Amino acid sequence: DVKVTQSSRYLVKRTGEKVFLECVQDMDHENMFWYRQDPGLGLRLIYFSYDVKMKEKGDIPEGYSVSREKKERFSLILESASTNQTSMYLCASSRTGPRYPLHFGNGTRLTVT
């Protein structure tokens, strides 16, 4: 069974802090994704990576950066956290190809005060 593990379930940070969200997958998937999920909205893609050290912007990359130094690990970085980044953050991984599903972690609920 694919396992995607996010390092924290809950985080509370102050405005202006640098925040790191970590994600690890154990199925050797090429692709990894970071989404945010807000009430009443569909999942919105922040960044994705299709290989080590490769990254592509999603729909809402502003205020975020990512790092993928190893195949199994994909980190999301909030350079200077703001209150509008309070959200649920979901990491996912998948094999390449439209028929393969995304496998999600259980999310990190980030609150920025």
Partner 1 sequence: KNQVEQSPQSLIILEGKNCTLQCNYTVSPFSNLRWYKQDTGRGPVSLTIMTFSENTKSNGRYTATLDADTKQSSLHITASQLSDSASYICVVSPESNYQLIWGAGTKLIIKP
Residues 59-88 that bind partner 1 (CB under 8 A): none
* Cβ-based neighbours of 40, under 8 Å, separated by 6 or more: none
Q: Which is nearer to partner 1, 20 or 100 (CB)?
A: 100
Q: Which is nearer to partner 1, 80 or 111 (CB)?
A: 111
The interface mask with partner 1, positions 19-58, x = CB under 8 A, is ------------x--------xxxxxx--x-x-----x--
Residues that bind partner 1 (CB under 8 A): 4, 31, 40-45, 48, 50, 56, 90, 92, 94, 96-102, 104-107
